[in-house]
Structure 1
């Protein structure tokens, strides 16, 4: 049973004496309701010492230490001052709400700690009547302190690193996919709308982006002359022949004429489509740059678009690194998977990985096998990107994994055995510049080192077995 209670609040740390506690009827309704009554609860505990925090930064530091189970100097001084002298005369048991903090206090200060329901009930009562029990506090002070400390604690816990911001990748790939749909829809609308005026342009300029720019340049087809030949050829990849064909088609066009107001609306819409297409290109460059910083290995292996979709579907790079390779393989094909399980049909072989060039290059018989192998390498690459905090972003691991996939594709065609993963990783570690200690640690943790140890152990077992056989033969 606790003789003292440690109470951590947003305004300071306090130690209470436990005066009297009902042990036998602790769970009865009357005793639990007495905790809510201040006049009755004040007879159970009494304030021994209260150490208020000096500032908001001091409060944040103390609460961070308490949440991590660390006994800092403030808490240590408070407990030694109030409990050390008492412990010589009688046994002291301190009631603490957090069991990790209780273990730290017991190990550092040799003070017995209690984390039972009785201690937690007393702490609940102290928290309920904190403004009345703590000296020097007025009504509303505790709530204000809790609100301010809560904001500070949340800001400190939410750590934002611009170099590892996979959330920006998730938003960028979502916007890029939406822009792909919108630009295609709007481009088709420009073709249909402007096609009433100049229908021959659709066959001469099949590209949507070039069609919108050409429509903006031409405007009314009657104004298209030889003076615009150079500008039109520049839009059409510097092809003067196609530009001259467009001018000739405009002269003999069968389209209807447009009024000035109609032309203004059509051309304004074409300008918006051009701006959206240009923004889409800049967003693609931004995504590629971001992926090379956050997930360079995954980008080098499978490309920034598919890598970003995998991260977005998993929720974060950390979540993707925790997935096994079998989950990465069918990531994005959940509906097909559950439908196959429900109907007892064939499960899907790939999800988002289907858009990879490796799957397209594989033969029909080997698509499932190369998908499984590629998912394995994606899982390794995501773990390297997520947990390699000591080195600068490098694509060496991703390129080595990509080479392994290429060798696996070659193996399906020619039968040449591919390089083992342990050998490929060892070559990468030798290639990149790593400190001697870091290289030693990484080498011990690589699968090749583990395999060497297993081989040594197997050799020792074989030698012992042979020795026992020879001894048995001599005895017989």
Structure 2
């Protein structure tokens, strides 16, 4: 039976003594409704002691400890002061609402802690009538304290590390994808609109951004002259040949004439397309900078955009780091996976990591193998980024070199370096403040299709069982050979 109940409030710790309550019929609706009546609930429980927090900072520290299941020194002192000493003779139970905290109190102080349904009912009743039961507090003080502590607790969690906020990456990559669609849609509309006046320009210039800037320079094709060649060449990265080609095409163009008001509208729309394209470039630069802060190793391994898409698909960098390599490999191909499971077909080999250059460079038969290997390395990189204190891309560069070596192994058979040796070399390089980390040269090429051998040291130190097996096999071969020779002699005779 629970004798005492610990209740954590935003103002301090409260210890209640249990006077009487129904233990056997605690699950009955009539018994549970007694919690709703203060006169009945007041006979069941009584305030024994209340210890207010010293300040708002002290309240936040205690709230964090309670959520993480840690016994704060002030809580320990409060319990030791108000509870009897834990011994075999005096047996009592302390009811605690948080299960993790109950286990921590039991280990730290030695009290018998309970966190069952009865305790939950009592805590529910105390929370409901907290203002009345805690006589030391004025009406409304507890609500104000809860509001203040709630804001402080949320701010502390959100501002854990401002520079490494992966939520900004998720929003940036989502906006980048949306901008790509919008810029393409608007550029197509502008091409179609301006092609009525100058249809030949579409065939000469394919890039949407350059096309929009040229529309602003050319304007009315009938007014285009050699004076505009320099401005057009500047847009076309100083390519005077294409600029002259545009001038010749304008002179012999089959397009219709256009009114000044129509040209103004086309110019305004071209301005919008140019501004959107320029903002897209700035956003990409921001994403690269943010990835170098948050996930430098993942960015160095698989690229900024693909790495950002993986984080966005997982929900956060922490979630991505918790995924096994097999989950990360097909991340983004959930529809194909469930369709394959439903139809009992072949499951997909890759998801978002397909956009990596490594998958494209691999041969058709090696795409699945390299995607498995790449997913494994991405998992290592994301875990290093998530749980390391100092952001560095040296591990990502080393992992990228490993994937390059693996590609070479599939093509030529050159054995790649071991992961343990690579990671050790990176750590040693970081300790010595080396800027560049070079991997060991791969072992000489072996014959195609040959499996990777174990270490030479391991081969030299053969186990006794292996030596015994080889000896037995040699003996059996020798006996078979002797029997065969005897048979051949007999047949000759």
Alignment-derived partner of residue 397 in structure 2: 399
**Aligned pairs (5 A) from 1:92-241:** 92-241=92-241
Structure 2 residue 303 is matched with structure 1 residue 303: yes
**8 Å Cα contact 2:86-2:110 kept in structure 1:** no
SS at 1:188's partner residue? helix
The verdict on how the C-alpha distance between 1:325 and 1:119 changes in structure 2, with shifts beyond 3 A counting, is: closer
Separation in 1 of the partners of 2:43 and 2:211?
86
Cα distance in 2 for partners of 1:78, 1:160 equals 30
Distance in 2 separating the partners of 1:341 and 1:100: 39
Partner of residue 319, structure 1: 319
| Alpha carbons of structure 1 residues 226 and 29: separation in structure 2 relative to 1, 3 Å | closer
Deviations 1:340-388 (A, max 9, x none): 2222332222222222222222222222222222222222222222222
Q: Which consecutive unaligned segments of at least 5 residues does structure 1 have?
A: 436-450, 467-476
- Structure 1, 184-193 or 412-421: larger mean CA deviation: 412-421
1:322-337, aligned counterparts within 5 Å? 322-337=322-337
**Tell me, what secondary structure is at the counterpart of 2:189?**
helix
CA distance in 1, matches of 2:327, 2:25: 53
State whether residues 15 and 47 of structure 1, in contact with CA within 8 Å, keep that contact through their aligned partners in structure 2: yes
Deviations 1:213-247 (A, max 9, x none): 11101111122122222111111221222212222
Per the alignment, residue 447 of structure 1 pairs with: none
* 403, 410, 413: which one aligns with 1:412: 410
Task: Return the alpha-carbon distance in structure 1 between the equivalents of residues 374 and 29 of structure 2.
Answer: 62
Distance change >3 Å, CA 305–CA 102, structure 1 → 2? closer
- Mapped to 1, the partners of 2:87 and 2:382 lie a distance apart of 54
Distance in 2 between the 1:108 and 1:335 partners?
49
2:371 counterpart of 1:379: no
Distance in 2 separating the partners of 1:235 and 1:292: 31
Structure 2, unaligned runs of 5 or more: 434-453, 469-493
Task: Answer with 328-337 or 111-120: which moved more.
Answer: 111-120
Q: Partners in 2 of 1:118 and 1:93 — Cα distance?
A: 12
CA RMSD, Structure 1 to Structure 2 (Å): 3.0
SS at structure 2 position matched to 1:48: strand
Question: Corresponding residue for 2:486?
Answer: none
Partner of 2:252: 252
Contact 1:83/1:92 (<8 A) preserved: no
Query: Residue 87 of structure 1: CA displacement?
Result: 8.6
Query: Cα gap change, 1:212/1:141 in structure 2, threshold over 3 Å: closer, same or farther?
Result: same
Partner SS for 2:364? coil
Aligned to 2:293: 293
Q: Could you tell me the TM-score, scaled by structure 1's length?
A: 0.84
Per-residue CA deviation, residues 183-222 of structure 1 (Å, 9 max, x unaligned), is 1121111111111111122222222211111110111112
Distance 1:143 1:263, change over 3 A: same
Residue 305 to residue 83, structure 1, CA distance change in 2 (3 Å) = closer
Greater displacement, 269-278 / 37-46: 37-46
Task: Please state if 1:61 is matched with 2:65.
Answer: no
